[in-house]
Amino acid sequence: MDEETASQTETQAAIRDATYRALCEHGYADLTIQKIADEFPKSKSLLYYHYENKDEILVDLLEYVLDQYTVYDAIDKDNSPEEQLWTFIDDSLPESPDEEQRESQLALFELRSRALSEEAYREQITRIDRLTHDTLAGILRAGINDGTFRAVDVEETVEILVSMITGAMLRRATTSENITTQTRAAVTQFINSQLLTEQETE
């Protein structure tokens, strides 16, 4: 990477950090380029050099986060399929979400809600949905092969899990009752009773 590219990459990373902080603080509707600039340690003109409007910055942020997620991959492939599944559930529906986890889920749903009307967001959300689907399908297949999971219909079970986890996350983020415990318990119950072979005690 030459010097110019390195400096550009650094600037874009700083823009993404500023955007993420501004989005968490103000929410989508109140977000402006000025508010992103307020969080940005460099010259505001750099923001306008790279982006024409806040949607361009946000779609770029979404795409970047998604690429990172794919590359980084929170799930340790050395772990058993059951451990991988619980890591995935812990990341999506933590039992006691801290402030940072709450903020990052709110930010994700702010961006997801843009996909209701904007095609550029919709494409990224479709990628997230596919990635979630494929990750879970891989874990399920591995767990069926090694006998941890029952021989369920993978496609159908993954569809149930993706909808259930997405819905539980949205319900946590948009209701004022504390439904943290029961949304997590329902997913746990489904996995224990439908997926794990060791639960077949009858």
Q: Which residues bind a copy of itself (CB under 8 A)?
A: 27-29, 106, 109-110, 112-117, 119, 121-123, 125-126, 129-130, 153, 155-156, 159-160, 162-171, 173-177, 179, 182-183, 185-187, 189-190, 194
**Complex with a copy of itself: residue 28 or 69, whichever CB lies closer:** 28
Closest CA to 93 of 24, 164, 6, 5: 164
Rounded to the nearest whole angstrom, what is the least distance from the CB of residue 40 to a copy of itself in the complex?
A: 22
Cβ pair 12, 49 in contact under 8 A: no
Closest CA to 88 of 99, 101, 79, 75: 75
**Complex with a copy of itself: residue 50 or 127, whichever CB lies closer:** 127
**Complex with a copy of itself: residue 66 or 160, whichever CB lies closer:** 160
CA distance 35 to 136: 37
Rounded to the nearest whole angstrom, what is the least distance from the CB of residue 148 to a copy of itself in the complex?
A: 20
CA geometry: angle 154, 67, 82, nearest 5 deg: 35
Rounded to the nearest whole angstrom, what is the least distance from the CB of residue 157 to a copy of itself in the complex?
A: 8
Rounded to the nearest whole angstrom, what is the least distance from the CB of residue 191 to a copy of itself in the complex?
A: 11
Rounded to the nearest whole angstrom, what is the least distance from the CB of residue 71 to a copy of itself in the complex?
A: 22
Phi (first) and psi of residue 178, to 5 degrees: -85, 100
**Complex with a copy of itself: residue 11 or 102, whichever CB lies closer:** 102
- Amino acid identity of 78? D
CB-based burial, 151-167: b 16+ in 10 Å, e otherwise: eeebeebbeebbebbbe
**Complex with a copy of itself: residue 78 or 177, whichever CB lies closer:** 177
CA distance 6 to 81: 38
